[in-house]
Structures are given as structure tokens and as C-alpha cells.
Amino acid sequence: MLVDIWSDVVCPWCYLGKRRMEAALEQFEHRDAVEIHWHSFELDPQAGPSSDAGGAERLAAKYGMTVEDARARQAQLEEMAAAEGLEYHLDRTRGGNSFAAHRLHQLAIDRGLSDAVMERLMHAYFTDGEAIDDPDVLLRLVTEAGLDADEARAVLDSDRYTEEVRTDEATAARIGIRGVPFFVLGRRFGVSGAQTPDIMLEALEKAWEETEAGAAA
């Protein structure tokens, strides 16, 4: 069964959703028959360069809230992430445009390293406070995840995989995806947001019953 996931590497809910899906799959009877396909989605295609400004300050400015309220929201999200085994340091995040990261992830898809590269990029951004739009940082991260350094550098120095990123985003717009993470199970069932593992497991079981099991009947 195919599971399509639209996400952005700078989306904290996407990393949380990744872990929750993984937890659900651990409990899913047919997990060995599940194939994950990751798709590009930019939360802010017009995002500028990464910044040394604190994450709470950027969040407050973006949504018109106080810095104190922004820090409270971040603390709540960090607790939720910790419950799933993730270590978030949201005030260390630096923003930045994720388009180059998505192009490199498209290379990773072609090389069978999609999950490894996605995991490395998300961990670098949310745990380590790396500048996700810095070419040298990106090159180091994706090579640590297994991509060939020369091939990755060639992608960064060109416009390769631009079309693939734009196609993913156009597909998201066509099927009505406005936010991420967004999961499409068995090409039929959509699940929006970082739902709990129990809800994700229930969705997987329903999708399997109505697609895979039904097709075999």
C-alpha cells in the first residue's frame, strides 16, 4: 500500500508527524507491504535567508503575538515532540528558504535515500539549529545521510529537480492540500496533520481494508 506524505523540512509538525507515522507502522500488521513516498511542500516559498534571530521572536512577528506567548507555544510543542522521542530546540531554529533542501531531497528519492535524507535534514533543523538554506551545510548533511557529495553539489550548482519540486507542489494544490504534514493512504484516504499514532494506525487499517484487501477479494 502506498503512503504519500507531503511535508516541509522546516515544519515542526511534519517531523512530529513522521515519528507518529513510524510508531503507527510499528503496530500495523501489514507494515512490510507499505511503501512511503515523500513529496515536497514549501510552507513559505517566499522565505528569505536564515537568521540568527530567536525562533520565538520570529514566530511572534509572523503571527502578531507576544514573544512570551510564542515561547509558551514552543514549549508546548517541544513537550509533544519529546513524548515521541524527538529533541526540539525551537528557539535555535533559524528559518530560511527550504527550496534547495527539497531539490536535494528529490535527488535522495531517486537514489533510494529519501527517508534518511529527510530525517537528517529535520534533525539538523529542529535539534541542532542548522541553517537549512546554507549550501555548505546542506551538502554536509545530505552526504552524512548517504548521498554522493559531488552529485549533491552538482544539484546545488544547477536548477536540477526544480520541476520535480514544483510538480509535487502543484499536485498538492490540485488535491486541496493547504498545510502539512498531509498523508494520502492507498491513493484514496487523506489524513491532515500530525495525528496521534493511534489515529494513524486506525487510518492505515481502514485504508488497507478498503484498498488492498478489497482488491484481493
Indicate the number of domains in the chain. Answer: 1
pTM: 0.94
Per DSSP, the chain holds a count of helices (H) and strands (E) of 10, 4
Give the model confidence (pLDDT) of 113-149 as tens digits: 999 999 999 999 999 999 999 999 999 999 999 999 9
Q: Per the domain annotation, does 42 fall within a domain?
A: yes
Q: Per the domain annotation, does 18 fall within a domain?
A: yes
168: Cβ contacts below 8 Å, ≥ 6 apart: 6, 39, 40, 41
- CATH of residue 19's domain is 3.40.30.10
Q: Per the domain annotation, does 183 fall within a domain?
A: yes
Q: Per the domain annotation, does 59 fall within a domain?
A: no
Q: Per the domain annotation, does 57 fall within a domain?
A: no
In terms of residue numbers, what domain contains 33? 2-52+94-216
Q: Per the domain annotation, does 155 fall within a domain?
A: yes
Q: Per the domain annotation, does 189 fall within a domain?
A: yes
Q: Per the domain annotation, does 78 fall within a domain?
A: no
Can you list the positions of beta strands (E) in 1-138? 2-7, 35-40
Q: What integer pLDDT is reported at residue 213 of this predicted model? A: 62
* 3-class state of residue 172 by DSSP: helix
- Split at pLDDT 50, 70, 90, the class of 214 is low
